[in-house]
Structure 1
Amino acid sequence: MADLRVLVVDDEPAVAAGHAEYVRRVPGFALAGVVGTVQAAVAVLSRERVDLVLLDLNLPDGHGLDIVRGIRGAGRPIDILPITAVREVDLVRAALTFGVVGYLLKPFTFADLRERLEAYARFRAGLAGATSASQSGVDAAFRELRRPASGGVLPKGLARDVMDAVIAALTRTQPAALSASEVADAVGTSRVTARRYLQYLADEGRVTRSQRLGGSGRPEVTFAWRP
């Protein structure tokens, strides 16, 4: 099967570039383009073969769902995966009515997106070449696509809700760096616990480590979210 072609739509250039790099790192996927507006997305979709759109919903010249309406209105077989900070339930429901293949909230890690892309590829592979479908085949395809995300495989002892809180604390203050103690205060955990999560994110390449002078004059390790 040919590589699945992905269009990245996000109006923040650094964020869009990061998403594009993630796509390049997942086998079986190729980048169809990177754009930051509704108008630019429509232009690419009109001239390029695109299988999947990674779509931010808040764009400077319209709403991401405007792109989806255009795709559905034209009857084009293009799938949509919103990648957004939009958490309003009404908008989530609106996206679901358009048949999106997932909904990924920012911030996230490479493992989060890779998991969804790989599930999407398995979904497409399960339907490829079929002229008719059995109920069991349809059920299997949708199970693959709708399988609850693990959010990446965390090491034993790390909890997803705490990890999300640590990431949220770092992204709220970026580009400023935080110490383990400052993250612990923001999240409501011990310094030792916060340090374990920060170390994991650093090892995964999602945060950078640096040093600053602490109150005692000793260097203090700090962590900053890597956009």
Structure 2
Amino acid sequence: MTPALRVLIVDDDPHARALHARFVAELDGFTVAANVGTGIAAIAVGSREDIDLILLDLRLPDVSGIEVLHRIRTQSTSPPDVIVISSSRDQITVRQALAGRVAGYLIKPFSQEVFAHRLAVYRDERIAPDPSERDEQLAQSEVDRLLATGRVRVSPQAAYPSPPKGISAVTLERVRASLDPVVAASASDIAERCDMSRASARRYLDHLVGEGTVARSHRYGKRGRPEVLYRFAPGS
């Protein structure tokens, strides 16, 4: 018999935590391991090896859910899966979450039936994953569908190619996640956000430009060389 998946529930609202815990308890194949109301607690508990899945709210009182997601991704050798549960539906927040390779994004409010369906799909795909759907990103049309329905399946053509030698997949995801889909950023901006050197940030950004997911532009000042800026390419 397959062991029950251990779930961490993260939400600043105690009533929401209790509700989601009840939903999880009524599902086959899941058990509530813990529930917390702050981002710092979520990072501490979510980094444990006994957590399989985090149900993550993005609006937390100390650090954002996006920050929680990326800290766990970078600090854990085998990070748990994450399903975002949030009322946030703006494009910037959704893209940041998707860049963190979340397993799903449920928009509040939702019914118990929608919740149960999404976790059942996740459970079944975890038990028998489809190789064509592993570690893939969402295309814009799928983001739009997610925003409309709260759930989405990934099409195989939406995947990013594997990074070449010398490019860390984990670091590449951090750089992707640090990019704003609306406001362009310089290599220095990205270096500061990702706590890396400007040269390294430039190397990863140039890789993303070559990949076609990031566009490069220039900002001209009154004097000196133009500043190179980066943002997500249209349709990426």
Q: Compute the TM-score of the two structures, normalised by the length of structure 1.
A: 0.56
Alpha-carbon spacing, 1:151–1:88, altered in 2? closer, same or farther (3 Å): closer
Coordinate RMSD, CA, aligned: 2.5
Alpha-carbon spacing, 1:8–1:16, altered in 2? closer, same or farther (3 Å): same
What aligned pairs does 1:76-225 form with structure 2 within 5 A after superposition?
76-127=78-129, 137-139=130-132
What amino acid is aligned across from residue 139 of structure 1 in structure 2? S
Give 1:151 deviation, angstroms. 7.4
What aligned pairs does 1:14-93 form with structure 2 within 5 A after superposition?
14-47=15-48, 49-74=50-75, 75-93=77-95
SS at 2:110's partner residue? Answer: coil
Structure 2, unmatched stretches of 5+, are 137-141, 152-236
What amino acid is aligned across from residue 95 of structure 2 in structure 1? R
What amino acid is aligned across from residue 89 of structure 1 in structure 2? Q
Give 1:139 deviation, angstroms. 2.5
SS at 1:33's partner residue? Answer: strand
Alpha-carbon spacing, 1:73–1:109, altered in 2? closer, same or farther (3 Å): same
Alpha-carbon spacing, 1:90–1:18, altered in 2? closer, same or farther (3 Å): same
Q: How far, CA to CA, are the matches of 1:65 and 1:141 in structure 2?
A: 21
Q: How far, CA to CA, are the matches of 1:122 and 1:51 in structure 2?
A: 14
Q: Which structure 1 residue ranges, 4+ long, deviate > 4 Å from structure 2?
A: 140-143, 148-152
Give 1:87 deviation, angstroms. 1.0
Asked if the contact 1:123/1:142 (under 8 Å) is kept, the reply is: no
What amino acid is aligned across from residue 53 of structure 2 in structure 1? L
Q: Compute the TM-score of the two structures, normalised by the length of structure 2.
A: 0.54
What amino acid is aligned across from residue 83 of structure 2 in structure 1? L
Report percent identity of matched pairs.
41
Alpha-carbon spacing, 1:120–1:21, altered in 2? closer, same or farther (3 Å): same
Q: How far, CA to CA, are the matches of 2:64 and 2:4 in structure 1?
A: 28
Q: Residue deviations 1:35-89, cap 9 Å, x none?
A: 1001111222344611111000000001001111111112433111110000111
Alpha-carbon spacing, 1:18–1:48, altered in 2? closer, same or farther (3 Å): farther
Q: How far, CA to CA, are the matches of 2:55 and 2:95 in structure 1?
A: 18
Q: Residue deviations 1:133-180, cap 9 Å, x none?
A: xxxx4126689xx9x88879xxxxxxxxxxxxxxxxxxxxxxxxxxxx
Asked if the contact 2:107/2:150 (under 8 Å) is kept, the reply is: no
What amino acid is aligned across from residue 54 of structure 2 in structure 1? V
SS at 1:115's partner residue? Answer: helix
Q: How far, CA to CA, are the matches of 1:19 and 1:115 in structure 2?
A: 14
Q: How far, CA to CA, are the matches of 1:151 and 1:67 in structure 2?
A: 21
Asked if the contact 1:126/1:141 (under 8 Å) is kept, the reply is: no
